[in-house]
Structures are given as structure tokens and as C-alpha cells.
Structure 1
Amino acid sequence: MPTHSERIIRLISGYLAGSLDEAERAELERWMAASELNRRAVEDFQSDDALRAADLSAIRDRIWERLDAHIPEARTRTFPVWRWVAAAAVVAAIVGVFMLRKTGPAPAAPVAKITTDVAPGGNAAILTLAGGRRITLDSAANGRLTQHVVKVSDGAIVYDAAADTQTNTLTTPVRGQYHLTLSDGTKVWLNASSSITFPAAFRHDRRTVAVTGEVYFDVAPDATRPFTVRAGDETVRVLGTAFNVNAYADEASVNTTLVDGRVQTAGGTLKPGEQSRTYADGHTDRRRVNVGAVTAWRYGNFQFDSDDLPTVMRQLARWYGVTVTYTGAVPGGTYSGEVGRNTHLSNVLKILELSGLRCKVEGNTVTVLP
């Protein structure tokens, strides 16, 4: 069965050749209407005679040739290195990127050496029960795991409302992610290298959990039982809301980003779209952020928003389970763009290389060259 990307490429090929039937044309039009980027991609293909072929592999190969050959010529501080990624959004599952932009000096031709490839992460976690029993969830069958815990699908477990109050911990490894529904109906998503410690059932007067790493919450409203999240030195108090907590030990601060509702943090009461940052020395600040970029991991993407290279690489390291090292000074500039988390590491690095990044991959080590 063709993948979604292959299906879209075939529809575009048929559209260019004038061979689509009414149902296929309607399918393509729905895809184009779903995104301005999709629409622009088809328009770019229409204007390029070299890509007017009905053969799927020929289109894919031609796209990759253009990606590999494209070296930006702009000399300004900000330039698009991914004009062709935008045009090739239809191969997102292959290329993995819709757009990437880097600010900084104009890049030199990339020099990369990739001797091995690294597959993306996936659904993986360990549930530790109060008595110390550990359940490896990615290998457990769907169905009831304990008296009060049910694995409802690959990557998701649900606690019954009648569960006891003993403490449990859900932990994701490097390259892992998982979804949890707590006994009160609160939905929780864990990113790679993260954990949440929680009572199997909450007390009648409060709901308190502790997290590490990065966790997204969609809290079930309950005015009589405020919901509290402890993350390092930060304590987040909510009534019913959606928010993201990033508390990785290798980040400079614990970041709480409000998606919807209202939360109280050490940095004050947040409004939707605001982020509170709490630093190790205790000081805090608050700022407006791109919520879509902060929470993109929850929806299966990396999204960078003027992030420096170390920030980008820390995210890739957690998801692909690699170690990132730098030879010489860390390259400057910032990166903005979006890439699907379901693509292999080599595809992500191809994209970064078009901005002038020089790197090599050996085993599970990515070395960034000067």
C-alpha cells in the first residue's frame, strides 16, 4: 500500500498530466486546501516542466537531486535555505521538512560524512508500580495490565477512576514517548527522556504530580481539587487547562508554556501564549512565545523558532538517541522551521547541511564540524 506521501505525489503527477478522475481531483483539492504550503507546492510543480512526470520514483529522485544541488546564494543576514523544501512539502514523510531558515553568515558548501543512519524514536515507556513492579509498556499486549490500568493502544494507557492512591511512575527512555490518562481524566503526553510520578487515584482535596523532562498536560477541570505540577524548583498550579512543562536537566531553565486556561507559576499568572522560565538561581521571567513551536513534539514534529544550533541538537539527541559533539567553536546563527519526528536522522541532517552545517555521523555520535 502506498504511503500518504506517495499517494500525494501520484495525485500531483496525475494532475500535471491531466489524468485524474473526479474523485482523485477532489482528494488533491482537499489536500491543497488544508495548507497554504500545500497549495504553493502544487503551484511550484506546475511551473516546472522537469517535474511533469507521472512516475513516482522519477519525481522523488528529481526532488532529491534539486535538494542536494541547491546551495543558497543570498548574502544577507537572513536567507531561505529551504525554497525547495517548501516546494517539496508533498514528500514530507521522505524529506521530513516543510521549511527551514537559518540566520547568520552565508553558508559554505556542506561537507558531511554519514556512515550510519539512525531511525526515529517511537512509543516506549516503563510503568513502575508502588510495590516496585516494572511493566515495559512497548512490549506489553493491549488490555488490562493491572486491576486499575489498561493499555488501550500502542503508546497509551488509562487509569480507572476507582484506582487506589499509591504512587506510580511512568518513564520514557531516550527515543521514547507515551500518552497517559490519569484517573481524573487528565491527559498527559511524555516526550523522550521524561517521567511523571503520580498517585494512581487523587485525593479528594488535591491533585499533585511531579515531572522531569518534557510533559504536555490537558487537565480535567475540577474547581474543588486544584491540579499541581512540580518540576524541579518550579510549582505550577492550575484549575483546568492545557500547558507544556519543559524541565530537562540540560536546559537552562524550567519552562512552563500555557496553551489554554490559566496557571500560576513562580513567574506569575500566565495568559495563553505566555511562557514562564525559572532558572537554577531562583530568578524568573515571562515572555510571549510561539506555542505551536513549543508543543510541536506533542503532534509528531520538531518545530524550531529562531533556535540556536545547540538547542536544535539537544532535541535531536533525545529523539534519536545520539550524542552530539562539536569540533571547534559552535556554529552561530539561528534556525526556524518544521520537521517530522518520524523521519530518519540522515534526512534531518541533509536539511541542516543546506544551511551550511558541516557534520559527520559515526555510530550514535554526531560530530558538528567548524
Structure 2
Amino acid sequence: MTPRNTNISRLLYGVVDIFRKREKEFSISEIDRAWDDCEQRIKRAASRNAMRRRISIWSGAAAAAAAVILVFWPDGADLADTPGLTTIQDITTYALNTEVATTSGHIINIVPGCDTTMVEQNRASINCLANGMVMVNGRPVSGDAGNPSADRYCQLAVPKGRRAEIEFADGTHLWANSDSRVVYPLEFSQDKREIYVSGEVYLDVAPDKNHPFIVRNTDFNVTVLGTSFNIMAYGNGAPSQVVLVSGKVDVDNSSNGTVTMSPGQLVDITGSAISSPRNVDVTTYVSWKDYMLVYSDKSLADVFSRLNICYGREFVLSSDVADIKVTGKLYLKDDIEDVLHAIAFSAPVRYEESGDSIYVFRTGCAGTAP
């Protein structure tokens, strides 16, 4: 884990270099406002760090340059070389501008003012406590509590083959499936509870009629007071889906207005279109939370597509396998070999591993892995 001071030094050197290259683009009034903003940030940082080691690097012209970049970066500027720089903005804009890479294969949790936590295990459990403290797999992570503004967001990134859970301070419980991302505040604001998700999550929202819980995505929002539901929004060309288990939710976007759902219903979201709610067996859509994959009259192509997300393995199906229809239940164990044995036992298929891919053929038919 890299020391925090080293991270900040690297960030500020990058900021100063970029600012020097672009300084002529900022007006005097913008620089004056940046100085004012810088002073306020330093005061807040000093207060927050009273119980921690002080970071002397936040001073002088370097901090002023950082403040200018943070607050007044010109439209269309490339922030790729200065990770972590954001303006105060709504959670969706923040999420879209701060994508977290999971190329390491580890679960990543980022808390403002702290080192990034990388979890090497297959699962992570995160607890957000009422005092602003965050626990990751039982270990405390101290963040900047007391300021739920839009520049204090935490982020959880779960790569393929991994799982994570978050328990928020209000009692809401979130399960994040593989290949998913959650952006959330250290503390919810006084008027609403709000997070951003992509991928697949299951939520059991703590009831609070005075503080609606809002789940945001690029294409839609889900608003609830207290309920259990599943969201699948991988953004891979397939429709996003909201499945309601209990309670009542409103799904809205900028084009179709609001659709109200009742328990046992599903809606599809394709671009700006929200379908009418239809009744479904919710078990099929939420069983992943309990490490099961339940399917009824589904093609093996659909089943292996889900296994790709759950295990992060690439499955290559022969043309005579993809359309085989199956019904059953798979226990998503840690060992993919056990899952493949179960499929081969119930369907006329065999499989071979080659490199990082698993090739699936119909039993009795010719075909070998390359």
C-alpha cells in the first residue's frame, strides 16, 4: 500500500505540471476565486487532520494550482493524468468522470482522505458506521467524516469473479455482484439517501419515510422509501432491469416519466425507454445474492454468460450448444470445476480448458480446444 503522502505528492506534481501548461487559459478572477477556495480547503483539512498526522505538502503555490484545476478546469479538458480531481457535482456526473480500473483483479474500495483499499479475497464486507468510519473486512478505514457533499464520495469496484457487500449507517444492506461498481457518500445528506450503481446489485433498503433512497444509473433512477429489489445494468447492449421483491419503487428517466412497480414485477430499460411492469418469478433474478443461479427454460448461452460474470472466465460455446434449453439450479461455489461438472451432468455437453478459456461442446460431437 503506497503511503498517502507519496500519493498526494505524485498528484500535486502532476497537477502543477498541467497547470503550468494551461495557466494562460485561466482569468484573473478565476485565480482569485481559486485562492479563496484554496484557503477554505486548507482550513477544513487542518480541522480534519487534528487527530491525524498533518500533511505539510498542502501549502503554497502547489495547493493554489490544485485548487484552480479542481474548481475551474476548462470544459473538455483531459483529466486522465490527474486521477482523483473532481469538482463539486452530482453523484452521477462524479461517477461517470471517475471510473475505477479493476485490471488488478482485486476488489477496490476508495474512501476520501484515505489510502485505497485493495481486497485480494473473493469477497469483501464493508460497513459504513454513523461516525464516518468505514470498516473493510473488519479493518477500520478512517475517512473525512462530517461532510456529505458531492466531493466526498466513496467508490467500490468489484471485478469479475468477486463479490462485495455494503452495510450503510442507516441499516440499508447492498450486495454487489461481480463486475459492478457502487459510488456512495461517507454519510447520507439530511434530505435524501443517494448512491450510483452500475453492474448488478441487490438492495434491502431500511425504511425511512422522511428520507427517500435513490439509486442512480446513467439511464434511469430508482426511488424507494423501504424495500428490497434487484438492479442489473451492465451496459453491454442488453436491457437494464429492475426487479422488485417487496415494497414499492418508482423507476424514472428523462424521457418516459415515472413507472411505479409492485412486488414480483420487472421492468426493462433500453436507452430512454422503460417497459411496462410485468410479473416474473423474482427468484430467477435475485438468487445470485445467495450464491445460486436459478434458471427456467434458459439457453446455455444465457447460463454461461452469467457464469462469465460470476467467475471472470471466458466460455466459448460450439454452435450446437448455445441454444440448448435448460432448467435447474447451480450453486455458485468457489471452484468453477464443480459448477461445470453439474452442468455436464444435467445437459449433453462436455468441456475443455485451454489457456484462459473454457470450450464447451455437445457430447458425442467432434471438437477440441485449440
**What range describes the TM-score normalised by the shorter chain of this pair?**
0.5 to 0.7
Deviation at 1:317, TM superposition (A): 0.9
For the residue of structure 2 that corresponds to 1:295, the secondary structure is helix
CA distance change for structure 1 residues 220 and 307 in 2, over 3 Å: closer, same or farther? same
1:266-319 CA-to-partner distances (Å, cap 9, x unmatched) read 472111111111113524242212212211111121212222222211211122
- Residue number in structure 2 paired with 1:178: 164
For the residue of structure 2 that corresponds to 1:305, the secondary structure is strand
1:11-64 CA-to-partner distances (Å, cap 9, x unmatched) read xxxxxxxxxxxxxxxxxxxxxxxxxxxxxxxxxxxxxxxxxxxxxxxxxxxxxx
- Residue number in structure 1 paired with 2:341: 350
Instruction: Compute the TM-score of the two structures, normalised by the length of structure 1.
Output: 0.59
Say which of 319, 325, 330 aligns to 2:310: 319
Deviation at 1:181, TM superposition (A): 1.1
For the residue of structure 2 that corresponds to 1:293, the secondary structure is helix
- Residue number in structure 2 paired with 1:148: 132
Identity %: 28
CA distance change for structure 1 residues 164 and 281 in 2, over 3 Å: closer, same or farther? closer
1:214-260 CA-to-partner distances (Å, cap 9, x unmatched) read 10111111111111111231211111111111111236111111111
* 2:217 is aligned with 1:193: no
Superposition map of 1:79-228 within 5 A? 125-131=107-113, 133-138=115-120, 148-151=132-135, 153=137, 164-165=148-149, 166-228=152-214
Task: Supply the distance in 2 between the matched residues of 1:189 and 1:260 (Cα, whole angstroms).
Answer: 16
* 2:269 is aligned with 1:286: no
CA distance change for structure 1 residues 334 and 250 in 2, over 3 Å: closer, same or farther? farther
- Residue number in structure 2 paired with 1:365: 357
For residue 368 of structure 1, what is the amino acid of its counterpart?
Answer: V
CA distance change for structure 1 residues 310 and 234 in 2, over 3 Å: closer, same or farther? farther
For the residue of structure 2 that corresponds to 1:189, the secondary structure is strand
**Contact (CA 8 Å) 2:162, 2:311: kept in 1 or not?**
no
Task: Supply the distance in 2 between the matched residues of 1:332 and 1:142 (Cα, whole angstroms).
Answer: 39
Stretch deviating more after TM superposition (192-201 or 335-344): 335-344
1:191-230 CA-to-partner distances (Å, cap 9, x unmatched) read 1111110111111111111101110111111111111111
Return 5+ residue gaps in structure 1 as ranges: 1-122
Task: Supply the distance in 2 between the matched residues of 1:220 and 1:168 (Cα, whole angstroms).
Answer: 20
Deviation at 1:141, TM superposition (A): 11
Deviation at 1:176, TM superposition (A): 0.7
RMSD: 3.5
* 2:318 is aligned with 1:332: no
Deviation at 1:347, TM superposition (A): 2.3
Alignment coverage as a number of residue pairs: 248
Say which of 261, 269, 290 aligns to 2:247: 261
- Residue number in structure 2 paired with 1:86: none
CA distance change for structure 1 residues 133 and 153 in 2, over 3 Å: closer, same or farther? closer
Stretch deviating more after TM superposition (349-358 or 227-236): 349-358
Task: Supply the distance in 2 between the matched residues of 1:259 and 1:224 (Cα, whole angstroms).
Answer: 22
Task: Supply the distance in 2 between the matched residues of 1:201 and 1:310 (Cα, whole angstroms).
Answer: 41
**Contact (CA 8 Å) 1:189, 1:298: kept in 2 or not?**
yes
